[in-house]
Amino acid sequence: MITRIYRVRIKPDLREAFEPLFRTVARASVTQYPGCREVTVGGPSEADPDEYAMISVWDSAESLSEFAGADWTVAHIPDGMEKFVEACWVHHFHHM
């Protein structure tokens, strides 16, 4: 299994529009794929008020490829959500 951690820093002036979409549209864009076992959405902390995270757990690299494409090591941003993104990162960890 693979844990995928997607971090996004949003444009602060778009926060009010971003948050409900991140919880629904962005989350649904991940959970609809076979092989996605779990998704957790995290909101910002006081230290990083513009940064959010989505942590997903996947069965395999193959299931991640179906979701994010052949190079699943790069961020996958659902259509319409790119306007909120100031910067984003993606990290992967194989379960031991």
Specify the pLDDT at position 96: 92
| Domain at 2-94: CATH code | 3.30.70.100
Torsion of CA 4, 14, 19, 66, to 10 degrees: -30
Write out pLDDT tens, residues 45-89: 999 999 999 999 999 999 999 998 899 999 888 888 899 999 999
CA distance 33 to 37: 9
Q: Which residues contact 21 (CB under 8 A, 6 or more apart)?
A: 80, 81, 84
Cα angle 55, 80, 88 (rounded to 5 degrees) comes to 40
Tokens 């993104």 locate to 85
Domains of the chain by residue range: 2-94
